[in-house]
Amino acid sequence: MSTPAGGPTPDIVAGLEAFSRRAEASLARLRDLQSQIDAIVPPQLPHAVHAEMDADGLLVELTIQQDLPADELEHEIGLAITDATRRRPAPDVAKTQATFRAAARGGDLDLGRILDQVLGGLDPSTEPAAHRNARNTVEVSAQAGVVRRVRCDHTWLASTSRAGVAAEVLATVNEAVTASTTPGRA
């Protein structure tokens, strides 16, 4: 399974690259299906919060455009992140492959866990572990780079500026997404 230098054998690398190509084709099909579903049943869109994501699923912008009651603001933040996820650019396959190769060379790649994730898929009935900010005011659940839920302390939402809320949510979401996408790790 590994070379004398500790890296994966060429057949394993070739298999992972082929698997990566099939996964990319599957993602393209999923995006096409999602756009067809969206055409039939338009998704609920936020009206007071705007978010943008990069190809890695990290938030690059979160703007709260108007003051809202805490429960409505929390809901709008969730809608904005879901909308940004739907619109985010496709991941860079070469970058993803390089990340996995580096993890494999370093001995940090858990192929069993990766295969369990891929073959088992994301089970919507299970809730991933929550990631919290240092002040325990923002809680984000992310699984395989996808934000599943954002919860905020309503007292904090009501007493914090829009810019402060946006900055804290953006940072916590990005920490959770990064933690959920580390190759071969929980």
Measured distance CA(144)–CA(22) in Å, rounded: 17
Q: What is the pLDDT of residues 119-156, one digit of tens each?
A: 555 555 667 789 999 999 999 999 888 899 999 999 99
pTM: 0.71
- Res. 54: pLDDT tops 70: yes
Cβ contacts of 140 within 8 Å, gap of 6 or more: 130, 131, 132, 147, 149, 150, 151, 172, 173, 175, 176
| Secondary structure class of 99 (helix, strand, coil) | helix
What number of other Cβ atoms are within 10 A of residue 158's Cβ? Answer: 15
Closest CA to 17 of 106, 92, 114, 101: 101
Q: What is the pLDDT of residues 69-116, one digit of tens each?
A: 999 999 999 999 999 998 888 777 777 777 777 777 776 666 666 666
